[in-house]
Amino acid sequence: MILDALIWISLAVGLAFNALGVVGILRFPDVYTRLHADTKCTTFGSIFTSVAIVLYAGGQYFRDPEGQYETLALHTVLAVVVLAFTNATSAHAIARAAHKRGHKPAQAVCDRLEETVP
Amino acid sequence: MTRWIFTVLVLVALMLLAMVRLFKGPTSADRVVALDAINTLVVAAMIVLAVVFRQFIFVDVAIIYALLAFVGTLYIAKYLGGEL
Amino acid sequence: MLSFIVTALFSGAVYLVLTAGSGPVLRFWSVQELLVAAAVAVAVGFVAHQYFASARRRAAANPLRWLQAVAYVLGPFFAEMAKANFDVAYRVITGRIRPGIVRVRTGMKTDMGTLLMANSITLTPGTLTVNVDEESNDLYIHMINVPAGLENRETVEVRELFALFDCPRWVRRIAE
């Protein structure tokens, strides 16, 4: 019962943050702020939908130890680790490329990087 | 079971919503950001689909998809930055 | 030699995680998978040890550091990440932003430390690493909400970015 509630809560939190990330991509004014919404919210949301899967696999494992549920849980954890690491790095790559291309941060109060580029 | 299908449907709806930014742009960097978000959502949806269809090999596909999407994003970023 | 052992152990561990549930040995693995894991570990260690682990930095092979890395990700890092997400969620809903790019001094001496710090910063407190100054390992960071007064300062100490925990100290302990 408690496990079911936890799964529902994780799913709800995950979907809410994924939705916020996508809305942020649509709403924010420039590349950098959109990257904020993208990397933080969708990574966090995906972590929580995966936590729901791991909880479900853990519950099923005790009901049916022959059902390969430990495979599901371990692989999901590995997928989350891969996702978190690659998302952070690719966000950095996109931000750097955008700045090299000359996209100015919109509404910026300061831009220390701009001053160093000759 | 229905809750997993519901989750997948919401994730697909979010992908379609992110696709608005993918088509609207205005710059190519914005499109890459939208593509990156869609990739993350696809990985999350694949993991949930593994439970829906009881085919746990889908999670392995999700891992490989995440890694390949990462390489793709890096190459697009390098191209946009003029280093390729 | 040490770099070969570390690489082989790491790749073997990843293979065993991926094949857990295949048979009865130690509850989880079949004999064939264990043999293949050993073969994969030796092969990958032979091919990749010079890329994966540099022989100059022996301290990185310390298993205690790996445990610390796991503790860091599950504890302080996750708390900071949750806080950052609520912050971004608030800004998505209200649209109240004050963006800008600031220069942050990390004080990291190694590439690994800079990488870990940059990734921690990207996923945590309303900040996003844009570029790295190769000589001083300083980071250029896009902040979604620059605190008042910060835009006039030449460099910012990395400690000021994290509110709840001393993440830079953790990173230094793990990677340097």
Distance from CA of C1 to the nearest CA of A (A): 28
Mark yes or no for CB contact C18/A84 under 8 Å.
no
Identity of the amino acid at A12? A
C104 shares its domain with C152 = yes
By CA distance, what is C150's nearest residue in A? A110
C27 shares its domain with C84 = no
- Write down the number of H helices and E strands in chain B: 3, 0
C139 shares its domain with C165 = yes
pLDDT (average), residues A5-31: 87
- In eight-state DSSP terms, residue C133 is E
CA gap C36, A78 in Å, rounded: 20
Asked if A22 has any chain C CB less than 8 Å from its own CB, the reply is no
- Could you read off the pLDDT of A52-69 as tens digits, one per residue? 888 888 888 888 777 778
C54 shares its domain with C70 = no
- pLDDT band of residue B68 (cuts 50, 70, 90) is very high
C14 shares its domain with C83 = no
For the cut 70, the answer to whether the pLDDT of residue A15 exceeds it is yes
Q: Name the domain count of chain A.
A: 1
Range of the domain at C53: 2-60
Asked if B7 has any chain A CB less than 8 Å from its own CB, the reply is yes
C25 shares its domain with C77 = no
Mark yes or no for CB contact A109/C146 under 8 Å.
yes
Nearest by CB to residue A22, choosing from B14, B29, B56, is B14
Which residues of chain A neighbour C18 with C-beta distances below 8 Å?
Answer: 74-75, 78
By CA distance, what is A47's nearest residue in B? B44
For the cut 80, the answer to whether the pLDDT of residue C16 exceeds it is yes
Nearest by CB to residue B81, choosing from A18, A68, A96, is A96
For the cut 60, the answer to whether the pLDDT of residue C125 exceeds it is yes
- pLDDT band of residue A72 (cuts 50, 70, 90) is confident
* Host H or E run for residue B62: helix B57-80
Q: What's chain B's Rg over C-alpha atoms? A: 15
pLDDT (average), residues C152-165: 68
Distance from CA of A79 to the nearest CA of B (A): 5
Residue keyed to tokens 């790295």: C132
Residue keyed to tokens 């990734």: C119
pLDDT (average), residues B30-50: 89
3-state secondary structure string across C76-111: HHHHHHHHHHHHHHHHHHHCCCECEEEEEECCCCCH
The more confident residue out of B66 and C56 is: B66
Q: Is the peptide bond before A118 cis (omega within 30 degrees of 0)?
A: no
The residues spanned by each domain of chain B are 2-80
- pLDDT band of residue A75 (cuts 50, 70, 90) is confident
For the cut 50, the answer to whether the pLDDT of residue A118 exceeds it is no
Mark yes or no for CB contact A75/B56 under 8 Å.
yes
Residue C58 confidence (pLDDT):
62
C100 shares its domain with C160 = yes
C10 shares its domain with C78 = no
Interface predicted TM-score of the whole assembly (ipTM), two decimals: 0.84
CA A27 to chain centre: 18
Q: What's chain C's Rg over C-alpha atoms? A: 20
Which of residues C10, C38, C60 is at a domain's end? C60
C74 shares its domain with C53 = no
C28 shares its domain with C66 = no
Which partners does chain A have (≥3 C-beta pairs < 8 Å)? B, C
Q: Give the torsion through C-alpha atoms of C150, C151, C154, C155, to 10 deg.
A: 50
- What value does the mean pLDDT of chain B take? 87
* Host H or E run for residue C31: helix C31-52
- Could you read off the pLDDT of C74-96 as tens digits, one per residue? 877 788 888 888 888 888 788 77
By CA distance, what is A43's nearest residue in C? C123
- In eight-state DSSP terms, residue C25 is B
Q: Which of A71-85, B28-42, B65-79, C74-88 has the lowest mean pLDDT?
A: C74-88
Residue C60 confidence (pLDDT):
61
Range of the domain at A96: 2-116
Distance from CA of A89 to the nearest CA of C (A): 7
C82 shares its domain with C134 = yes
Q: Name the domain count of chain C.
A: 2
Write out the two tokens for C93.
Answer: 């809903």
- In eight-state DSSP terms, residue A37 is I
> Cβ distance A72 to C152 under 8 Å?
no
For C28, phi and psi rounded to 5 degrees? -120, -30
For the cut 60, the answer to whether the pLDDT of residue A42 exceeds it is yes
